[in-house]
Amino acid sequence: MTRRLPLLNRSSWSKRRRTVAGALAGVIALALAGTACSPVEPAGNDTSGGNQSAAGQDVFGDPVDPAQVRQGGTLTVALSADPDKLDPTLSRSLYSRYVFHTMCEKLYDLGPDAKIVPQLATALPTISADGLSLSIPLKEGVKFADGGTLDSNAVKISINRGLTLAGSGRKSELGPITSIETPNANTVVIKLSKPFAPLTAALADRAGMVLSPAAVAKLGANFSTAPVCVGPFKFASRVAQNSIKVVKDPLYYDAAKVHLDAIEYRIITDSSIRSANLKSGDAQVADSLSAQDAPALQKDGSMTVLQSQSLGYQGLTINVANANGIGNPLKQLDTPIAKDPRVRQALDLSIDRAALVKSIFNGLNTVACSPISPKSEFTSDAAQVCPSHDTAKAKQLLADAGVTTPYKVTMITSNNPDSLRLAQALQAMVKDGGFDLVIKPVEYAALLDQQDRGDFELLQLGWSGRVDPDANIYNFVGTTGSQNVAGYTSPDVDKLLTDARQATDQAQRIKLYGDVVTQLQKDDPLIYMYRQRNLTGVSKKLLGIQVYPDGVIRTAFAGFAK
Amino acid sequence: MRRYLLNRLWQSVVTLVLATIVVFAGVRALPGDPALALAGEERDPESLRAIREQYGLDQSWLVQFWQFVSHAARGDLGQSIRTGEPVRTMIATALPVTVELSVLAILIASVIGVGAGVVAAVRRGRPAEWAANALALVGLSVPHFWLGLMAILYLSVALGLFPASGFVPFFTNPIDNLHHLILPAVILGTGLAAVIMRQTRSSMLDALSADYIRTAEAKGLAPRAVIGRHALRNSLIVVVTIVGLQLGALISGAVVTERIFALPGFGKLTVDAVFQRDYPVIQAVVLVTATAYIGINLLVDLLYSVIDPRIRVRGDA
């Protein structure tokens, strides 16, 4: 016999029907509202802002005022990409530098003015008259996170590791080092076979990070699994492709300046979701904001958008003679754009850089015509000369070169939305100059592969930039440069670059790099277009976050506002 | 039975070997080079050579394959080229997250789907059915990515009800764990809920027009008992089968959901490894997935043979 249940009679069904229908209608209404909506503006939005600069100005952020922050708390940083190995010797990505900054201090650091300042050293290196010896004085009483003491021997071990470890990314940065001497516990002397001016700048990056000798001895090539250095924070954990956590190191020599308990780096690759995490408060800092998202965040009274102009560039590389792949003998390509500099100059003149920056990047990026940033110590008038946009001249140059217009040229570019937007704008722009630009979007890993194999005619890619101009020029346009994917060769440029490497006088280096730019603009193997502005979103609940021109977000001494 | 068992086991091993070969060759056929992907913008020929040497990428495919298989047979899935971490640890961390997310998504989808399906069948031709059908249409046609983004914007950013990203392990804090997973699970479950709703509705309509339902009603049984104990119960058999079949789609949906909500799951691990050409990770995740799939299929086949002896007999023949 079936038991009768008391709850369900016709009227109660009717009531339920109305409730369910109402709930369903609500859900659908929400979904449909979303379909037609623009992103939600947070409540209490203060459009007057107050924290923002005009477009195109750097906002580095202010150092923390200890009286205004409370002790403790975990900062969550939304990172746009997963750092690679957390080993300063093997690491190659910018994102690992964000994490290293909190746990692996360097002999030298960079100031907001892009000038090198001592960090674990006490002064800039004393360079001998012949430029073959650098003496570096070290701080005393500095402890590694494992309790070991930092001394000249530890520095020697770290630099030697950079020179000798298989797969080291530091070897070429460290230059022609012949030996490292340790006359006493607090002095390191580096000997060189020939002068190498970019070395001090290299020691202000990963090559200058000092690793715990005990951890190196214990872990060897697996140092990245439990890295130990000197820093305000020490490594705690890593969940592959998801998050990295560092916690405050009580042994740090300046521990009183550290306010946070921990920092968690959370990998969120999509820029709109990074922005959403920032707005929701799940993250307090987000790197690499999209130029599309930044204006909305700038209007948000609870956010600050830090901006620092990159020391690198974005540009177009023309395959001149990379027919056999990088590292193999150069072979001139048989196309007008590869053979005739006038065709490359015409392409350069067809690009309206100012319009590009304004329309695609909301004016947040800046025009670039050379590998030397105007923010660099090595800038000069010659380094900042910029060919003006002139389509008539471009067409004339193409006619002089005997090229029929429209001249078809195929460009490979990364298939992310920003790169595609840029490519489409370029396509429309260079049409007026007589070019028919064909866009071939390629996934990033495949793009690198095609680039190195020389399987391209024109390529859009950039470089994140380094402090010393040598690192931004030599490898890309030097005949033997490791990334000379254009296959460009010019004895004049090679000589200028070598002289600049070996010159110890800064004024002389500035002059030489100016001459390099002049020559590069004549040959145009690489058309520099614009310099990115590193856009970092920061919640106003947090004080003391700074971003310098090297693009690294300084989080170590930040704190939550009281 | 023993012969049938051996036969099925042998077939499973062959399938696994074939899957391993396809994956091994497939990742290498992709354009791109793991050494270049790792080196990124900082690459010079010497360090590229060293990376290739370190991970055996300079060896012939045959040698690489043998190394992969022989190490995997000993339980060693290698090291990630990108992070240097043991792949086994990476999988052991990621797998439980995806399993928990999927189970939660199935639960949520079943509750919503069955509920809406019953309402749609019982209230046929009325606004409740239209609403349920519209809901199913939205669930089926709106991509997870967009839905996830909207959920973050409305429920996390505007209302602050759920975290927009992150994960807390269940055994660290169960409440926090659920709080972080509920939104991704709802998003992941939308497609499945729609499928379940449509299936429940159609099975319920069949059941409601059956003779035994008329008999039950004629006996004076309350509508709730007729629907719940007779019609729904019989309709659920098909629904349960559908849920099983949708499991694969659910796991592939988890790839997108995990990326949106920054969950450290198996799907995110796989996709990121493909983008970074991290061969050891790609090979290992596919090997683990293929083994699980083949294992489950084998188990199901064996259960069938226990339930239906005719299958066993045909297998023996």
User: Chain A contact for B223, CB < 8 A?
Assistant: yes
Residues B118 and B239 in one domain: yes
- Nearest-Cα distance to chain B for A363, in Å, is 26
Same domain, B117 and B240: yes
8 Å CB contact of B154 and A267: no
Q: In angstroms, rounded to a whole number, what is the distance separating the alpha carbons of residues B74 and B55?
A: 18
Q: What is the CATH number of the domain that holds A353?
A: 3.10.105.10
A255 and A173 in one domain?
no
Interface test with B, best of A9, A24, A264, A480 (most B CBs within 10 A): A24
Q: What is the pLDDT of residue A369?
A: 94
Ramachandran quadrant class, B220 (left: phi over 0; alpha: psi -120 to 50; beta: rest): left
Q: Which residues of B touch A303 (CB under 8 A)?
A: none
Distance of CA A68 to the CA centre of its chain: 31
**pLDDT given for residue B317 in this prediction:** 44
Can you tell me the mean pLDDT for B50-63?
A: 85
Q: What is the CATH number of the domain that holds A275?
A: 3.40.190.10
Domain that holds residue A552: 65-80+232-307+537-562
Same domain, A218 and A256: no
Domain co-membership, A358 together with A292: no
Residues of chain B with pLDDT > 70: what percent?
A: 95
In DSSP terms, B292 is beta-bridged to none
Query: pLDDT tens digit string along A162-201?
Result: 999 987 888 888 989 999 999 999 999 999 999 998 999 9
* Contact by Cβ (8 Å): A8, A263: no
What is the pLDDT at residue B309? 65
In a domain, A508, yes or no: yes
Domain shared by B74 and B96, yes or no: no
On whether residue A330 sits in a domain, the answer given is yes
What is the distance, to the nearest Å, from the Cα of residue A91 to the centroid of all Cα atoms in its chain? Answer: 14
The pLDDT, as a whole number, for residue A45 is 32
Q: What is the pLDDT of residues B249-271, one digit of tens each?
A: 777 778 888 988 888 888 888 88
Q: Are residues B71 and B181 in the same domain?
A: no
> Based on the domain organization, do A414 and A501 belong to the same domain?
yes
Examine the domain organization and report whether B140 and B253 are in the same domain. Answer: yes
Instruction: Count Cα neighbours of A488 within 13 Å in the Cβ-side half-sphere.
Output: 30
State whether residue B238 sits within 8 Å of chain A by CB. no
Asked whether residue B7 falls in the same domain as residue B155, the answer is: no
If asked whether residues A460 and A440 sit together in one domain, one would say yes
CB of A352 within 8 Å of a chain B CB? The answer is: no
User: Do A244 and A155 belong together in one domain?
Assistant: no
Same domain membership, residue B221 and residue B189: yes
B96 shares a domain with B56: no
Non-local CB neighbours of A425 within 8 Å, separated by 6+ positions: A356, A359, A360
Domain presence at residue A54:
no
CA–CA separation, A279 and B160 (whole Å):
10
Closest C-alpha to A175, from A157, A201, A153, A151:
A201
Among residues A206, A228, A250, the one where a domain terminates is A228
Say what the pLDDT of residue A56 is.
Answer: 58
Residues B245, B208 share a domain? yes
Clarify whether residues B51 and B136 are in a common domain: no
Please report the pLDDT score of residue A13 as a whole number.
Answer: 38
In a domain, B225, yes or no: yes
CA distance B117 to B131: 11
**A199-214, pLDDT tens digit by residue?**
999 999 999 999 999 9
Dihedral of alpha carbons A552, B38, B268, B99, sign: negative
Domain that residue B66 falls in: 2-82+276-316
Strands A533-539 and A303-309: antiparallel
Dist. CA A90–CA B39, nearest whole Å? 9
Cis peptide leading into residue A406 (ω within 30°): yes
Mark whether B145 and B194 lie in a shared domain.
yes
- Please tell me whether residues A356 and A465 are part of one structural domain: yes
Are both A340 and A478 inside the same structural domain?
A: yes
A137 assigned to some structural domain: yes
Q: Does B216 touch chain A (CB under 8 A)?
A: yes
Q: For residue B146, give the nearest of B192, B176, B191 by alpha carbon.
A: B191
Whether B134 and B251 map to the same domain: the answer is yes
CATH code: domain of residue A119? 3.90.76.10
**Chains A, B: CB contacts under 8 A, how many?**
218
User: A344 with A471, same domain?
Assistant: yes
Q: Do A166 and B127 touch (CB under 8 A)?
A: no
B252 in A contact zone (CB under 8 Å): no
d(CA B34, CA B81): 8
Within a domain: B67: yes
What is the Cα–Cα distance from A468 to B41, expressed in whole angstroms? 16
Q: What φ, ψ does residue A204 adopt, rounded to 5°?
A: -95, 10
> Is B224 a domain residue?
yes
Least confident of A53-62, A246-255, B231-240, B306-315: B306-315
Contacts 24+ apart (CB under 8 A), B74-80: B77/B280, B77/B283, B77/B284, B77/B287, B78/B280, B78/B283, B78/B284, B79/B55, B79/B280, B80/A240, B80/B273, B80/B278, B80/B280, B80/B281
Does residue A1 lie within any of the structural domains? Answer: no
**Residue B212: its chain A contacts at CB < 8 A?**
none
Q: Pick from A62, A107, A113: which is nearest to A88 by CA?
A: A107
Q: From the centroid of its chain, how far is CA A430?
A: 28
Give a yes or no: residue A14 inside a domain.
Answer: no
Tens-level pLDDT at each residue, chain A (562 residues): 333 333 333 333 344 444 434 443 443 343 333 333 333 333 333 333 334 444 557 888 888 899 999 999 999 999 988 888 899 998 877 788 899 999 999 999 988 777 899 999 999 999 998 989 999 999 999 999 999 999 999 999 999 999 999 878 888 889 899 999 999 999 999 999 999 989 999 999 999 999 999 999 999 988 999 999 999 999 999 987 789 999 999 999 999 999 999 999 999 888 888 988 998 899 999 998 888 788 888 888 889 999 988 889 999 999 999 999 888 899 999 999 999 999 999 999 999 999 999 888 888 889 999 999 998 889 999 999 998 899 999 999 999 999 998 999 999 999 888 889 999 999 999 999 999 999 999 988 888 888 888 999 999 998 888 888 998 999 899 998 888 999 999 999 999 999 999 988 889 999 999 999 999 999 999 999 999 888 999 999 999 999 887 888 999 999 999 8
- C-alpha atoms less than 13 angstroms from C-alpha of A180 in its C-beta half-sphere: 18
Does A282 map to a domain? yes
Which of A193, A211, A228 is the endpoint of a domain? A228
B268 in any annotated domain: no
Phi-psi region of B86 (alpha: psi -120 to 50; beta: other; left: phi over 0): beta
Residue B49 placed within a domain: yes
Cβ <8 Å between B135 and A238: no
Check if A269 contacts B (Cβ < 8 Å). Answer: yes
Q: Is residue B269 part of a domain?
A: no
**B271 inside domain:** no
pLDDT tier for residue B311 given thresholds of 50, 70 and 90: low
Task: Identify whether residues A241 and A222 lie together within a single domain.
Answer: no
pLDDT tier at B56, thresholds 50, 70, 90: confident
Q: What is the pLDDT of residue B55?
A: 83
In a domain, A2, yes or no: no
In one letter, which amino acid is A334?
Answer: D
Chain A residues in contact with B229 (beta carbon < 8 A): 2
Q: Please state the ipTM of this predicted complex.
A: 0.73
Interchain pair A243, B160: CB under 8 A: no
Mean pLDDT of B277-289: 88
For residue B169, give the CATH number of its domain.
1.10.3720.10
pLDDT of residue B131: 84
Q: How many domains does chain B have?
A: 2
Whether residues A287 and A399 share a domain: the answer is no
A420 and A338, same structural domain? yes
Residues of chain A with Cβ-Cβ distance to B260 below 8 Å are 270, 273
Q: Could you give the number of structural domains in chain A?
A: 3
Tell whether B270 is within 8 A of chain A (Cβ).
Answer: no
* Phi and psi, residue A408, nearest 5°: -85, 130
Q: If you measure CA to CA, which chain B residue comes closest to A96? A: B83
Task: Tell me whether residues A168 and B47 touch, CB distance under 8 A.
Answer: yes
A21 touches chain B (CB under 8 A): yes
Give me the pLDDT at residue A158, please. 96
Partners of residue A76 in chain B, C-beta under 8 Å: 166
